Amino acid sequence: MKGEGRGRRRPSSRLGRSTADQVFVRGHDLADLIGKVNLGDFAFFELLGRLPEPRESVMFNALAVTLVEHGLTPSTIAARLTYFGAPEALQAAVAAGVLGMGDRFGGSIEQAARILQEAPSDGDPRENAREIVQGFKARKETVPGLGHPVHRPADPRTTRLFALAAENKFAGRHVKLMELIADEAGRAYGRDLPVNATGAIAAIASEMGLPWRITRGLAVMARAIGLVAHLQEEMEDPMAAGIWSRAEAEGSSETASERD
Amino acid sequence: MKGEGRGRRRPSSRLGRSTADQVFVRGHDLADLIGKVNLGDFAFFELLGRLPEPRESVMFNALAVTLVEHGLTPSTIAARLTYFGAPEALQAAVAAGVLGMGDRFGGSIEQAARILQEAPSDGDPRENAREIVQGFKARKETVPGLGHPVHRPADPRTTRLFALAAENKFAGRHVKLMELIADEAGRAYGRDLPVNATGAIAAIASEMGLPWRITRGLAVMARAIGLVAHLQEEMEDPMAAGIWSRAEAEGSSETASERD
Amino acid sequence: MKGEGRGRRRPSSRLGRSTADQVFVRGHDLADLIGKVNLGDFAFFELLGRLPEPRESVMFNALAVTLVEHGLTPSTIAARLTYFGAPEALQAAVAAGVLGMGDRFGGSIEQAARILQEAPSDGDPRENAREIVQGFKARKETVPGLGHPVHRPADPRTTRLFALAAENKFAGRHVKLMELIADEAGRAYGRDLPVNATGAIAAIASEMGLPWRITRGLAVMARAIGLVAHLQEEMEDPMAAGIWSRAEAEGSSETASERD
Amino acid sequence: MKGEGRGRRRPSSRLGRSTADQVFVRGHDLADLIGKVNLGDFAFFELLGRLPEPRESVMFNALAVTLVEHGLTPSTIAARLTYFGAPEALQAAVAAGVLGMGDRFGGSIEQAARILQEAPSDGDPRENAREIVQGFKARKETVPGLGHPVHRPADPRTTRLFALAAENKFAGRHVKLMELIADEAGRAYGRDLPVNATGAIAAIASEMGLPWRITRGLAVMARAIGLVAHLQEEMEDPMAAGIWSRAEAEGSSETASERD
């Protein structure tokens, strides 16, 4: 058979398929889910292959909701500037915004989740936390998931998420370890380094069984919603041209124009 | 002041801002919403500036859920192929998939919603439907929101969404007009052209007060979730290399390789 | 055979293929071209299927060179902001910049080229120009390819490109029509509306036989080079954080942070 | 002044600016360059801040030309699939293709260039090569820039590029080290691992003074040209629907459709 020269087997997706009168998602009839399952629960279902229990529903939706909106960020500004140049393609402006959810932003969740998921599950948790912090300090790297330039002394989202995690029985060893890491980092660096929202999300996502490799995807899917809202605002009340003008006036001498 | 030469005022976003101990989204304290509002309701809140009533919550989540997953599509395949080449950047693979939600896919919701929202609100609805269909026929264009290559005689998602719309009091004039358009198109083209899922979503979104310009965004935000799920599957059970092999084996003679 | 259900034939690309000891591009042995053909000539070869004559080489390279660099534009700012968030993926930042080359920027070349290529090839050119301008005026649309907010009285790139076109025998009917359109638009709108760089490029590309549908691609390929240069500068001398700070300080109240 | 709260200075780009009658790129009047400088030389100028000498022009254009076209690859297939869904936005389809030029493809140039540029400039070159190879072997990683699934015994592009490098006096220590790495890798892994095209480009780019961080950008800018050509072919002779049909027929059971 052609195309099999590299010995690759036929691809197969478990996610979706359809027949003349039914659409299936992960084996469930979609018509049975529409109207019964909210968007966050459906995202959980897509990622974990089963519908969430009530406590999982509350927690997963809480994580996603926390990630939707952060105001004017590099990502939302990039989306607005792209829409300015390409108003024919809303999806391209959303994509431009999604592209900025990389190592610096969405990636900090992924890095924190990785640390937690790769930490030894035995041994003294405080000792594990201390070793993790020492490793970052020795490599002169920032510990992901800690500290915030604005929220002091605590990130209000962390406070809320950890309270919800406790109520819903997700305050397990990953959450505990994240808190110990913050504590040990505070000692090691000699300043307050509380768990920030990305650290809290990383810890709770780890409790919920999400593999660290996909946690960046949580930020991406949630932020896509926020980006659509920013573009709706941009349509009604544009700010891209103003951002451009200011950057250009300061960044180049005299004037310039892309128009032609 | 420099940069103001084009007379543009300072930009301002109503969506998000934060202080030392609070984060606000559209004027609400985010900590009050986390744990109480599901992701679909939060998306509604972002787009419409207020939390949904219960019937709005059911309906909006239903629209979004319908749009998340369509199996292997050009968009999900593009995302998988991009991840194959750039595994360091999950967000870039999601963005590649989002880029395909253009005129042909997400755009059909937008086009259908535009027709409904721009139709006269007075006059005989059947007469309006007939004129709309005749316009498309005269321009030799397809009427958006109708027909389906697989689902016959009816799209199961439309059946479900319209039933939910009736239950939740969203079966108003836009839904009625969409159904009349399908009926008139069936006559004009001499074959069954039932309302498909994009047509149903366009009609219900119009009932809910979403401007047609942003309806493509519904598809984009929902599909971002599906794309993350496809990439999770691709990580565990890759199919990109196989799709490439087959395309290459058939599309070029002999063999080729991008690797170098 | 599977997958052929929709009656689609097997795909086939004429562009590239390889064997154990040769790589072919459009039927030529790539090793024979490397070191002999410059990048602009190779782009011409890719698009038109043959190597350019000397006058074509000068002209095509001139068009492409004109499009590479426009300083700080929405597109280059979006690329810099994306790199700030995703430094692991230079290609994603270039892509974000490319996404802004839509209807407003790259699209103006496409629109101008379309007008020229769809204009009747017979009849009085001035009469054709007048009709084109009247059409835009009646629809209250801007005539693409004309006018400039900064360059007055003439766009220096147009002057140079049209001089080169004359020297190289590309000042044919499309260039003539573009100039007549500018002249008629000046009369109709009562102000000077000289051919700008996008108009000049559209006219000359039309003379060279490039279909209007691909002219936006000229801008995209050239700008990709400029975007890489902006990202190199951003690596050495970052400005993204400053652009973000200013937008945020003015666009939201108080402060905000995406970091977490 | 607002926005300066984080102590960031005003941004400034050296790349482009304009006045009423002139456009400057890196301090040169653009009108003086148009018609005299080919696209590859202009890219060199953008990246290195000066026009190339003749031997640099030949070599840089050769590197770029080598990277433009590789036939049907994951990147060009993703671009075609994106165009299928979003025909309104050619730039978005190019961007989707660019997004795939990540660690696996464009990244292999970057990795090879980094190895070469970070290798000690003193000491015995063969000894350095051996240590580099041993490092990769110990970490069970592939040595970047070596080997090819199709081209045997040698990559014809490498042969040509290294011959050009010798003619143009670019066969210096980086090229020498790359060849020694291939030789040592052949010994260490017990099979032929010749320098492939990405390895050759990495070595020569290093000779030309391009920092390794920007070498991935060479692939991105060159491939943008190839992507435009693939999309032109896709417009004339579409293959996206066929690729989708086949993937879907094999990857899902029965049928599915994104259309609605």
- Residue C177 corresponds to which amino acid? L
Coil, strand or helix at C208: coil
Q: pLDDT of B172-211, one tens digit each?
A: 999 999 999 999 999 999 999 999 999 999 999 999 999 9
Nearest CA among D3, D29, D5 for reference residue D18:
D29
User: What gap in Å lies between CA C47 and CA C122, rounded to an integer?
Assistant: 28
Name the band, by pLDDT with cuts 50, 70 and 90, for residue B153. confident
Q: How many domains does chain A have?
A: 2
Q: pLDDT of D229-240, one tens digit each?
A: 999 999 999 999
Of the two residues B48 and C20, the one the predictor is more confident about is: B48
**Torsional sign, CA D73, D77, D80, D86:** negative
pLDDT on residue D5: 37
Q: pLDDT of C128-164, one tens digit each?
A: 999 999 999 999 999 999 998 777 778 899 999 999 9
Best residue of A26, A39, A234 to probe chain B, by most B CBs closer than 10 Å: A39
Domain co-membership, C73 together with C63: no
Residue D92 is nearest to which of B99, B198, B256, comparing CB atoms? B99
Task: List, in sequence order, every residue forming a beta bridge with B29; answer none if it has no partner.
Answer: B24
Residues of D with Cβ-Cβ distance to A13 under 8 angstroms: 251-252
Q: pLDDT of B62-121, one tens digit each?
A: 999 999 999 999 999 999 999 999 999 999 999 999 999 999 988 899 999 999 999 999
Residues of A with Cβ-Cβ distance to B161 under 8 angstroms: 34
Instruction: Show contacts of C29-37: CB within 8 Å, 24+ apart.
Output: C30/D65, C30/D66, C30/D69, C30/D156, C30/D157, C31/D156, C31/D157, C31/D159, C31/D160, C33/D65, C34/D62, C34/D65, C34/D66, C34/D157, C34/D160, C34/D161, C34/D164, C35/D58, C35/D61, C35/D62, C35/D160, C35/D164, C37/D61, C37/D65
Residues of chain D with pLDDT under 50: 1-10, 253-260
Asked if A221 and A64 touch (Cβ cutoff 8 Å), the reply is yes
- Residue A229 corresponds to which amino acid? A
Residue D202 belongs to a domain = yes
Residue C250 belongs to a domain = no
Q: Look at B252 and C17 and tell me if their CB atoms are within 8 Å.
A: yes
Residues of A with Cβ-Cβ distance to C4 under 8 angstroms: none
Respond yes or no on whether the N-terminal peptide bond of residue C153 is cis (omega within 30° of 0). Answer: yes
Domain co-membership, B111 together with B208: yes
Residues of C with Cβ-Cβ distance to A5 under 8 angstroms: none
pLDDT on residue C11: 52
Q: pLDDT of D87-130, one tens digit each?
A: 999 999 999 999 999 999 888 999 999 999 999 999 999 999 99
Residue C3 belongs to a domain = no
Residues of B with Cβ-Cβ distance to D108 under 8 angstroms: 259-260
Q: Look at B35 and A62 and tell me if their CB atoms are within 8 Å.
A: yes
Based on its alpha-carbon atoms, the radius of gyration of chain B, rounded to whole angstroms, reads 22
Q: Inform me whether the pLDDT recorded for B230 exceeds 60.
A: yes
pLDDT on residue C4: 34
C10 Cα to chain B: minimum distance (Å): 6
Best residue of D72, D81, D88 to probe chain B, by most B CBs closer than 10 Å: D81
Residue B81 is nearest to which of D100, D239, D252, comparing CB atoms? D100
Domain co-membership, A40 together with A126: no
Nearest CA among A186, A44, C36 for reference residue B65:
A44
Best residue of C178, C255, C257, C260 to probe chain A, by most A CBs closer than 10 Å: C260
Count of beta carbons in the 10 Å neighbourhood of residue C125: 17
User: What gap in Å lies between CA A8 and CA A6, rounded to an integer?
Assistant: 6
What domain range is D152 assigned to? 106-213
Owner of token pair 């390409």 = A86
Q: Look at A256 and D16 and tell me if their CB atoms are within 8 Å.
A: yes
Domain co-membership, B40 together with B110: no
Mean pLDDT of chain C: 90
B175 Cα to chain C: minimum distance (Å): 31
Q: What is the pLDDT along chain A (260 residues), one digit of tens a residue?
A: 333 334 344 457 889 888 878 889 999 999 999 999 999 999 999 999 999 999 999 999 999 999 999 999 999 999 999 999 999 999 999 999 999 999 998 889 999 999 999 999 999 999 999 999 999 999 999 999 999 877 777 889 999 999 999 999 999 999 999 999 999 999 999 999 999 999 999 999 999 999 999 999 999 999 999 999 999 999 999 999 999 988 887 765 433 333 33
Q: Look at C247 and A92 and tell me if their CB atoms are within 8 Å.
A: no
Q: Inform me whether the pLDDT recorded for C260 exceeds 70.
A: no
C18 Cα to chain B: minimum distance (Å): 5
Q: Kindly list the partner chains of chain A, i.e. chains with 3 or more CB atom pairs below 8 Å.
A: B, C, D
Q: Kindly list the partner chains of chain C, i.e. chains with 3 or more CB atom pairs below 8 Å.
A: A, B, D
> How many Cβ contacts (< 8 angstroms) between chains A and B?
332
pLDDT on residue C5: 37
Residues of A with Cβ-Cβ distance to D29 under 8 angstroms: none
Write down the H helix ranges in chain D. 30-33, 39-48, 54-68, 74-85, 90-99, 106-118, 125-138, 156-167, 173-189, 197-207, 212-236, 240-251
Residue A110 belongs to a domain = yes
Instruction: Output the six-digit token pair for C79.
Output: 């690329």
User: What gap in Å lies between CA B47 and CA D187, rounded to an integer?
Assistant: 62
CATH number for the domain that contains residue D129: 1.10.230.10
Residue B195 belongs to a domain = yes
Nearest CA among B222, B149, B142, B159 for reference residue B195:
B159
Domain co-membership, A119 together with A182: yes
B54 Cα to chain C: minimum distance (Å): 31
ipTM comes to 0.92
Name the band, by pLDDT with cuts 50, 70 and 90, for residue C251. low
Name the band, by pLDDT with cuts 50, 70 and 90, for residue C22. confident
Domain co-membership, C63 together with C187: no
- Residue A115 corresponds to which amino acid? I
Mean pLDDT of chain B: 90
- From A31, A52, A73, the end of a domain falls on A52
Domain co-membership, B173 together with B110: yes
D136 Cβ contact partners less than 8 Å away, ≥ 6 residues apart: D142, D143, D185
Domain co-membership, C219 together with C92: yes
- Residue C61 CA, distance from chain mean position: 13
Q: Inform me whether the pLDDT recorded for B32 exceeds 90.
A: yes
Q: Look at A78 and C73 and tell me if their CB atoms are within 8 Å.
A: no
pLDDT on residue A251: 61
Of the two residues C238 and A254, the one the predictor is more confident about is: C238
Instruction: Output the six-digit token pair for B200.
Output: 């149903």
Q: How many CA atoms lie within 13 A of D72 on its CB side?
A: 28
B14 Cα to chain C: minimum distance (Å): 7
- Cα–Cα distances (Å) from D3 to A74, A76, A238, C72, in that order, read 14, 17, 20, 19
Among all residues of chain B, which has the CA nearest to that of A252? Answer: B3
A53 Cβ contact partners less than 8 Å away, ≥ 6 residues apart: none
pLDDT on residue C9: 47
Residue C249 belongs to a domain = no
User: What gap in Å lies between CA B227 and CA B77, rounded to an integer?
Assistant: 9
D101 Cβ contact partners less than 8 Å away, ≥ 6 residues apart: B85, B86, C91, D75, D216, D219, D220, D223
Asked if B257 and D75 touch (Cβ cutoff 8 Å), the reply is no
| DSSP per residue, A34-54 | TTTS-HHHHHHHHHHSSPPPH
A5 Cα to chain D: minimum distance (Å): 12
Q: Look at D86 and A95 and tell me if their CB atoms are within 8 Å.
A: no
- From C15, C43, C67, the end of a domain falls on C67
Least confident span in B12-16, B33-37, B149-153, C6-10: C6-10
Q: Inform me whether the pLDDT recorded for C170 exceeds 80.
A: yes
Residue A149 belongs to a domain = yes
Q: Look at A46 and B229 and tell me if their CB atoms are within 8 Å.
A: yes
Q: What value does the mean pLDDT take over residues C232-259? A: 75
- Residue B104 corresponds to which amino acid? R
C171 Cα to chain B: minimum distance (Å): 35
Asked if A228 and B42 touch (Cβ cutoff 8 Å), the reply is no
Residues of D with Cβ-Cβ distance to B150 under 8 angstroms: 255-257
Residue C146 belongs to a domain = yes
